[in-house]
Amino acid sequence: MDVKEYLKDPCGTLSVPYWKTMTMTVPDSVRIIHCRDWNGQYSDYQRFFRVKHDLTDLPGIDFDYDVISIEHQAKQLSGMINASYVHEGITVTEEEILQWREHETFREDLCVYINSDGGIMAASGIAEYDSCFREGSIEWVQVLPEYRGRGLGQKIVNVLLARLKKTGAEFVTASGNLDNTSDPLELYRRCGFKGNDVWYICNAQK
């Protein structure tokens, strides 16, 4: 992959941030196809959007939030993520969260949350930062079902964007399941992300 090509069009060139390609392995049975090349050739697939923010016109942060201590709050965060995605079948363990610290792109100051009035972790988000390409990537954003509809997801994304810009990011990418019932694409649109790239993750064995 040509680095200049990626930086010119990150969301249309790769389905994931560049740094992830250095460690990920795609099984032989999986095909990853951009929407421009999609013609329905596989019947078993999932659709993932990928969008980009250029970090201009960011809103001010006029609300309270805290930075997550992965060492001390991994169990709490695991439970919160699993409760937020119960209908999507997405789960993460405390051990997996602790392993995130091993990523070269991991920064604990890019792990944030908002408490409810009762002290419950109602919304949280995690971003990573690739200093080589100055790319920020939003990896997790979740809001407990009972606290949705209050703008907490948008607040989390705006905090992460502000902190990534302060860290040195020149742009930020985000992705998600296009068919997720919580409609994450709409959330990112409200926060200023742009682009229409969709990637089909296909099971080539069917």
| Domain map (residue ranges) of the chain | 52-195
Question: Minimal CA–CA distance to 53: which of 170, 178, 132?
Answer: 170
Summarize pLDDT for 59-83 with one digit per residue, the tens: 999 999 999 999 999 999 999 999 9
For position 206, what pLDDT does the model report? 63
For position 49, what pLDDT does the model report? 98
For position 93, what pLDDT does the model report? 97
Residue 164 pLDDT greater than 90, yes or no: yes
Q: pLDDT band at 46, cuts 50/70/90?
A: very high
Classified by CATH at the fold level, domain 52-195 comes out as Aminopeptidase (3.40.630)
**Cα–Cα distance measured from residue 85 to residue 26, given in angstroms and rounded to the nearest whole number:** 24
**Rounded percentage of the chain residues whose pLDDT exceeds 70:** 99
- CA distance readout (Å), 129 to 30, 52, 105, 150, 185: 27, 14, 5, 28, 21
